[in-house]
């Protein structure tokens, strides 16, 4: 399902991975976050203090998979307020209507309260679901899956991802090869005789250390992490012949 030599993602970085639908996006998102055990290879977290782990439970606790088709994407018929309530409940927060209303107000999304998910502008949907994902305690890494399938300019959802990275998250964004080119990536022709190819890293932005969050994020941008840790954790996927430790998640 996924023939990937190596990929790394540090907190404070934003990495764009390009590939057409059906070319390993689902496998990459699930393997990298400890939700699917690879047949061979290793997914490893390196903490700021130099310690490492490949425990799937740890990887799952530190990561969120955003809008993955057929896995974590919300039902298209649900309204924005319903999705916000459900996600807040999953994050352990009160999901009362008043709490949902305050959350939407804080993120300047009140005007979309009664809009169905399939009617949201693509970048707004990405900002909404990303902001909800980081409500979960302990999350440091995000995989944002194929935001370009909902339309809108790639620069808009790429800006949302970069805003998350600037606030201390490691963000892996999956998109089509054409969207990556629109963002300035130079991609070699896809390899393989079947017309299928594994996703490839296309762009990488960020710094070696986390940056402090601004006092007030722009409208629709996700809020920052609440801790003040300035050390970097790194998540790496390595195509290794050793079975991944930790057993099946």
198: tokens are 């594994």
23 falls within a domain: yes
Domain count, the chain: 1
Q: Which residue has the higher pLDDT, 23 or 127?
A: 127
* 119, part of any domain: no
Residue 172's pLDDT band (cuts 50, 70, 90) = very high
Give me the sign of the Cα torsion angle 67, 70, 74, 78.
Answer: positive
Please indicate, yes or no, if residue 196 is contained in any of the structural domains: yes
Question: What is the span of the domain harbouring residue 218?
Answer: 6-75+141-238
**Residue 190 buriedness (CB in 10 A; 0-12 / 13-18 / 19+):** middle
- Please give the structure tokens belonging to residue 89: 């409940």
Tell me what pLDDT residue 52 has.
Answer: 95
According to DSSP, the residues that pair with 201 across neighbouring strands are: 17
User: Would you state the pLDDT for residue 249?
Assistant: 31
Question: Is residue 249 in a domain?
Answer: no
Q: Among 25-39, 96-110, 174-188, 208-222, whose mean pLDDT is lowest?
A: 208-222
Instruction: Kindly report the pTM of this predicted structure.
Output: 0.84
Return the higher-pLDDT residue of 145 and 193: 145
Lowest mean pLDDT among 18-27, 94-103, 125-134, 225-234: 225-234
pLDDT for 47 beyond 80? yes
Residue 209 lies in a domain: yes
Rg (CA), the chain: 18
In a domain, 167, yes or no: yes
Q: pLDDT for 109-125, tens place per residue? A: 999 999 999 999 999 99
Does a structural domain hold residue 38? yes
> Are 157 and 123 spatial neighbours (Cβ–Cβ below 8 Å)?
yes
Percent of the chain with pLDDT over 90: 68
| Comparison of pLDDT for 196 and 193, the residue scoring more | 196
**Quick check: is 231 in a domain?**
yes
């Amino acid at each position: 399902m996924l023939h990937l030599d190596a990929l790394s993602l540090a907190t404070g970085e934003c990495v764009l991975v390009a590939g057409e639908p059906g070319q390993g996006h689902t496998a990459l998102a699930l393997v990298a976050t400890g939700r699917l055990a690879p047949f061979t290879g290793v997914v490893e977290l390196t903490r700021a203090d130099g310690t490492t782990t490949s425990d799937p439970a740890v990887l799952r606790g530190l990561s969120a998979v955003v809008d993955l088709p057929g896995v974590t994407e919300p039902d298209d018929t649900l309204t924005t307020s319903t999705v916000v309530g459900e996600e807040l409940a999953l994050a352990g927060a009160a999901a009362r209507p008043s709490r949902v209303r305050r959350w939407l107000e804080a993120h300047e999304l009140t005007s979309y309260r009664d809009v169905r998910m399939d009617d949201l502008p693509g970048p707004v949907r990405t900002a909404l679901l990303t902001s909800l994902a980081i409500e979960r305690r302990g999350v440091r890494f995000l995989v944002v899956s194929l935001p370009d399938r909902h339309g809108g300019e790639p620069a808009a959802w790429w800006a949302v991802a970069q805003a998350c990275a600037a606030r201390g998250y490691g963000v892996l964004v999956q998109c089509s090869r054409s969207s990556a080119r629109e963002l300035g990536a130079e991609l070699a022709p896809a390899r393989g005789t079947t017309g299928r190819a594994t996703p490839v890293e296309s762009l990488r932005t960020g710094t070696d250390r986390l940056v402090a969050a601004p006092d007030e994020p722009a409208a629709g941008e996700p809020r920052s992490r609440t801790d003040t840790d300035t050390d970097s954790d790194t998540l790496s996927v390595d195509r290794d012949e050793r079975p991944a430790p930790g057993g099946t998640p």
